[in-house]
Amino acid sequence: MIGYYIVIGLIAIVSFAVSARLKSKFEHYSKVNLRNGMSGAEIAEKMLSDNGIYDVRVISTPGRLTDHYNPADKTVNLSEAVYNQRNAAAAAVAAHEVGHAVQHATAYQMLKLRSQLVPVVSFSSGMAPWIIIIGLGMGAAAHIGIGYYVAVAGLILMAVTTLFTLVTLPVEYDASNRALAWLKNKNMLAPNEYEGAEDSLKWAARTYLVAAIGAIATLLYFALQVFGGSRER
DSSP notation for 154-169: HHHHHHHHHHHHHHHH
Active site residue 97: yes
The pTM of this model reads 0.86
DSSP notation for 84-120: H--BHHHHHHHHHHHHHHHHHHTT-HHHHHHHHHHHH
Distance CA 148, CA 29 (A): 51
Query: Out of 97, 172, 193, 198, which one is annotated catalytic?
Result: 97
**pLDDT value for 230:** 46
pLDDT above 90 for 148? no
Q: What is the DSSP letter of 78?
A: E
**pLDDT value for 5:** 72
pLDDT above 60 for 19? yes
- The one-letter code for the residue type at 222 is F
pLDDT above 60 for 45? yes
pLDDT above 60 for 158? yes
pLDDT above 80 for 1? no
